[in-house]
Amino acid sequence: MLAGNFSARAYSFFDTLLWIACLNLLWVLFTLLGLGVLGAGPATAAAQILVRRRARGEAAPLLKSFTREYFANFVRANALALPVMAVAAALALNWNYSSGAGDLMSQLIAAGTFVAAIFLAGVVCYLFPMYARYELPLGQYLMTSSRFAVRHLAGTVILLFITAAAVYASRALPGLIPFFSIGAWLYVTGWLCDRFFTANDESVAATAALQEADMPVGGSPAVALPAGTSTARPTQQGAPVG
C-alpha cells in the first residue's frame, strides 16, 4: 500500500513538472509570436486559465487549449497588460535616472520608485489569476487586484517571495528560463491565487449571510467584487469555472 501511494505521488509530481515545462515552452513561443510586447499578455492569460483548470482537475490537451485561449483573449489580455508594462517601464526609467544621482531628493525619488515597483509586482501577481477566474469589466481588474494586494498582505508577501525566488533562480541559472522558471512561477502563483480567491469568496458569502440575518459582522479583509461579477469563465466544454 505504501509503495503504491509513493508511486502514485511520484508519478503525479513528475507529471506536474513535465506539464510546467511544456507550459513554460508554450509561454515563450507564444510571447515571441506576438513580438514580445503584444504576446506576453495573451500568453500569460492563457497560461493562468490553464493553470486554474489543472488545479481543478480538468484535463485538456495543453497545446490546443493554450492556442485557443491565446487567440480568444488576445485583445482583452493586451488591453490589460500593456498599461502595466508602460507603468513598469516608467518606473524602471525613473529608477535608473534617480538612483544614480547623489542628492537627497533623487534618493527619495528612488526610494519611492522602489516601493511603487514592489507594489506593482504584488498587484501583477494577482492580476492574471483574477482574469482567469472572474468575468469583470476590463477596467476593474487592476483596481480589484490592487485592493486585494493591500487587504491580503500575507498572501501578497508570499507571492512576492515566490517571485523574488524565481528571479534569483533565473539569474543564477539562466538556462532555467526557456525550460522551467516562467512556467513554475505561473503555476505556483496561479495555484496560490486561486486558493486565496476561493477563501475570499467564502468570506464574502459568509459576511453577506450574517448581514441578511441582522447579525453583527466584525472587520473582515475580504474584498467584495463589483456588482454583476461572474466567476463563470467557460472551459473547453463550456462548463462554468468557479
For 87-105, the pLDDT digits (tens) are: 999 999 999 888 877 778 8
pLDDT of residue 242: 34
pLDDT of residue 40: 97
Out of 172-176, 193-197, 232-236, which region has the weakest mean confidence (pLDDT)? 232-236
In angstroms, the CA 89 to CA 45 distance is 20
Q: Is pLDDT above 80 for 232?
A: no
Q: 159, 198, 185, 237: which is closest to 48 by C-alpha?
A: 185
| DSSP states of 153-208 | HHHHHHHHHHHHHHHHHHHH-GGGIIIIIHHHHHHHHHHHHHHHHHHHHHHHHHHH
pLDDT of residue 216: 59
Let me know if 227 is exposed, middle or buried by CB neighbors in 10 A (0-12, 13-18, 19+).
exposed
Q: Is pLDDT above 90 for 11?
A: no
From residue 162, alpha-carbon distances to 33, 173, 185 in Å are 27, 16, 7
Which triple of cell numbers denotes residue 108?
Answer: 527619495
Residue type for 139, please? G
Q: 18, 72, 21, 26: which is closest to 47 by C-alpha?
A: 26
In angstroms, the CA 22 to CA 34 distance is 18
Q: 181, 189, 179: which is closest to 149 by C-alpha?
A: 189
Which triple of cell numbers denotes residue 203?
Answer: 468570506
Q: 46, 75, 42, 74: which is closest to 60 by C-alpha?
A: 46
For 114-136, the pLDDT digits (tens) are: 999 999 999 999 999 999 999 99
For 139-182, the pLDDT digits (tens) are: 899 999 999 999 999 999 999 999 999 999 999 999 888 889 99
The conformation of residue 151, written as its DSSP 8-state character, comes to: H
For 33-86, the pLDDT digits (tens) are: 999 999 999 999 999 999 999 988 888 889 999 999 999 999 999 999 999 999
What average pLDDT score do residues 195-202 get?
A: 93
What pTM does this model have? 0.87
In angstroms, the CA 207 to CA 201 distance is 10
pLDDT of residue 207: 80
How would you classify residue 116: left for phi > 0, otherwise alpha for psi between -120 and 50, otherwise beta? alpha
The conformation of residue 98, written as its DSSP 8-state character, comes to: H
Q: 205, 39, 197, 224: which is closest to 143 by C-alpha?
A: 224
